[in-house]
DNA sequence: CGGGCCGTTGAGCGGGCTCAAGACATGTGG
DNA sequence: CCACATGTCTTGAGCCCGCTCAACGGCCCG
């Protein structure tokens, strides 16, 4: 921890999108005690029922959060990337209620919950930013539920391609209209509540309609308005406005 | 507001389930500025895109939170009851991202967001309790998504009957094994991502298997273990343990 | 060059949807 | 107290989106 200021930079960036921090706030965030840990693709960072002691900031790579039914069905409800505070949920409530799994090779910073909570209450600006982050995540969950519960396969897929584009752009990881999906079609299926076979056909059909082109996992959005219309996508639920206000 | 201590009692009860409060904390909660408002069944308390200034504690009756797709499909993702802090989400993020609608005749207390936020940061025990409440809600959303995305109709229905039983019991509103559903089959369908026709057939089939009996909207659970098994139900996601710890 | 994961495509099936009509409740006004 | 309207529950019949099972091809890596 010779230069802690470097390590937690992604967290600071994320929090600054949520609210205004002053110099002292920034210092305090970067001074959080953090331990860097690496995981290989598909390894579990946290498992359901674990007693979580740390929360977990993603520094590099992608992870998913998911739950499984008794008969092995899997539902992914969140894809996390650089800067995401992936496990505030689990750790604050002591017992993890879902899995956190690496999608690609992953680098995370583990921060003791107690340090995180103390900071939130000693520095209200930080507390508010963290709270906002939590609420925005809840909003994304709601949209995800609407997606899975009330939209057909094509619409779901288009919706998720739009959401992912915007979130990658916000995190500064790629352009809105051209990115690489860090997941297999089977994992996409688990996110959308479909089967991998159907995901495949759906992607093909979106491509045939000229909305996207793709080579392997790379997605190029050819017609943003068309894709957003097909996906019934309105970015309001991401509360991107917070970043500007 | 001659006896404010009475009005916000349901809120205090709820927060005390989330964490330990001392005498000063309790006084501060009850001293929150609140305005009591009544709504008739089906009226909207908050609409998506509203600029919410207040958060909203349910004092009596039931409400749902939902979103709609562009083509009119509706997804309910939360049923709220006495004591629930139904709108912290919307109000803290300024622009409502979902609707809050009365299911039955309703009595709510409106509290200015600023008062709520100030209290959360001036009294950490209260802040923690509110934060826990938010995170438990997020956990319920996740389970709801799993339900809608990965379980078949019968399982979804059984799951929801179990969840509702426990939450009613926790709120002190009825016994775990016998209660009245405050919603029509069509509204149930909107919660489960099914159609009302299928909800009807599913309820019938659960009754035929001896898991429940029902007369109109009243549900009697005849075989809790059986229903929980059919519904793939494990109450961990409700984090009821917090109430005891 | 061989093994394994992933993507792609075909064929058939089924859970849940759609459309539609009838049976009950509950309320309202005459 | 009846006539009628309205909303909800119930049941039937047919259909379709998305699932299942299965085979094959491409790409990556050892």
pLDDT, tens only, B106-126 = 999 999 999 999 999 999 999
The residues, ordered by sequence, that sit 6+ positions from B217 with a Cβ below 8 Å of its Cβ are B180, B181, B182, B183, B184
Contact A151, A130 (CB under 8 A): no
Q: How far is the CA of B148 from the C1' of D10 (A)?
A: 24
DSSP states of B13-24 as a string?
HHHHHHS---HH
Region A213-241 average pLDDT: 93
Arithmetic mean of pLDDT, A21-45 = 94
* CB B197 within 8 Å of CB B204: no
Residue A221 near residue A123, CB atoms below 8 Å: no
Inspect the interface and report whether the beta carbons of A97 and B142 lie closer than 8 Å: yes
Cα separation, A214 vs B129, in Å, equals 47
CB atoms A149 and B146 under 8 Å: no
Q: A128 CA, D21 C1': separation in Å?
A: 52
* pLDDT at residue B245 greater than cutoff 50: no
Instruction: Please give the backbone phi and psi of residue B46, each rounded to the nearest 5 degrees, phi first.
Output: -140, 140
Residue A62, CA atoms < 13 Å, CB-side half-sphere: 16
A-B C-beta contacts closer than 8 Å:
142
Per-residue pLDDT averaged across B169-181, rounded? 91
Alpha helices (H) along chain A: 4-7, 9-18, 23-30, 88-92, 113-122, 124-150, 153-170, 185-192, 196-208, 224-230
CB B124 to CB A124 under 8 A?
Answer: no
Nearest Cα to A211, choosing from A170, A161, A176, A163? Answer: A161
| pLDDT of B5 | 57
Report pLDDT digits (tens) over A99-144: 999 999 999 999 999 999 999 999 999 999 998 888 899 899 999 9
Task: Look at A120-134, A222-236, B2-16, B157-171 and tell me which has the smallest mean pLDDT.
Answer: B2-16
Do residues B61 and B102 make contact, with C-beta atoms less than 8 angstroms apart?
Answer: yes
Joined tokens for residue B221: 């659970």
Phi-psi category of A14—alpha, beta or left, where left has phi over 0 and alpha has psi -120 to 50? alpha
In terms of Cβ atoms closer than 10 Å to its own Cβ (0-12, 13-18, 19+), residue B221 is buried
Using the Cβ of A98 and the Cβ atoms of chain B, whether some distance falls under 8 Å is answered with yes
Give the pTM: 0.92
The answer to whether the CB atoms of B193 and A148 lie below 8 A apart is yes
Helix (H, G, I), strand (E, B) or coil at A150: helix
pLDDT grade, residue B157 (50/70/90)? very high
Query: Which residues in window 82-101 of A are less than 7 A from strand C by Cβ?
Result: none
Report which of A129, A125, A188, A197 is spatially closest to residue A161, judged by C-alpha positions: A188
Q: Would you tell me how many other CB atoms lie within 10 Å of the CB of residue B238? A: 18
Tokens of A2: 């010779």
Closest residue of A to B229, CA-based? A70
Q: Give CA–CA dist B131/A221, Å, rounded.
A: 38
pLDDT of residue B140: 92
Give A39-89 pLDDT, tens digit per residue. 999 999 999 998 888 999 999 999 999 999 999 999 999 999 999 998 777
Which among A66, A146, A158 is the top mutation candidate for probing chain B, defined by the most B β-carbons within 10 Å of its own β-carbon? A146
Cα(B159)–Cα(B71) distance, integer angstroms: 28
pLDDT tens column, B26-84: 999 999 999 999 999 999 999 998 888 899 999 999 999 999 999 999 999 999 999 99
Q: Rounded distance, CA B106 to CA B60, Å?
A: 6
Residues 6+ apart with CB under 8 A from B118: none
CA distance B73 to B172: 33
Q: Token pair for residue B102?
A: 């009365």
Token readout for A192 is: 């959308």
Q: How far apart are CA A141 and CA A33, in angstroms?
A: 29
Give, for B4, the enclosing helix (H) or strand (E).
helix B4-7
Collect all residues of chain A within an 8 Å Cβ-Cβ radius of residue B236.
49, 95, 97
Quote the CA–CA distance of B121 and B89 in Å, as a whole number: 17
Rounded to an integer, what is the distance from CA B154 to the centroid of its chain? 22
- Sign for the CA dihedral angle at B122, B123, B128, B129 comes to negative
User: Per-residue DSSP letters for B180-231?
Assistant: E--S-HHHHHHHHTS-HHHHHHHHHHHHHTTSEEEETTEEEES-HHHHHHHT
A149 vs B contacts (CB less than 8 Å): 75, 148-149, 192-193
Q: Residue B104, CB, less than 7 Å from strand D?
A: no
User: What's the CA A143/C1' D9 distance, rounded, in angstroms?
Assistant: 31
């Amino acid at each position: 921890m010779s230069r802690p200021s470097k390590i937690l930079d992604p967290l600071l960036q994320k929090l600054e999108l949520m609210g205004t921090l002053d110099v002292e706030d920034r210092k305090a965030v970067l001074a959080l005690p953090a331990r860097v840990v690496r995981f290989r693709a598909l390894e579990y960072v946290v498992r359901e029922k674990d007693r979580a002691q740390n929360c977990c900031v993603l520094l590099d790579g992608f992870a998913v959060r998911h739950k499984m039914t008794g008969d092995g069905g899997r539902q992914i409800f969140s894809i996390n990337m650089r800067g995401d505070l992936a496990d505030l949920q689990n750790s604050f409530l002591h017992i993890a209620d879902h899995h956190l799994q690496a999608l690609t090779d992953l680098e995370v910073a583990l921060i003791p919950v107690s340090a995180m909570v103390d900071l939130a209450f000693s520095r209200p600006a930080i507390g508010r930013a963290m709270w906002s982050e939590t609420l925005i995540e809840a909003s994304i969950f709601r949209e995800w539920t609407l997606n899975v519960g009330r939209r057909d396969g094509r619409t779901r897929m288009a919706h998720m391609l739009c959401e992912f584009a915007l979130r990658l752009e916000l995190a500064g990881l790629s352009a809105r209209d051209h990115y690489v999906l860090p997941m297999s079609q089977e994992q996409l299926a688990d996110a959308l509540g479909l089967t991998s076979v159907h995901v495949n056909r759906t992607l093909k059909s979106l491509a045939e309609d000229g909305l996207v082109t793709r080579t392997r996992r790379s997605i190029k959005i050819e017609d943003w308005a068309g894709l957003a219309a097909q996906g019934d996508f309105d970015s309001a639920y991401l509360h991107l406005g917070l970043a500007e206000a």
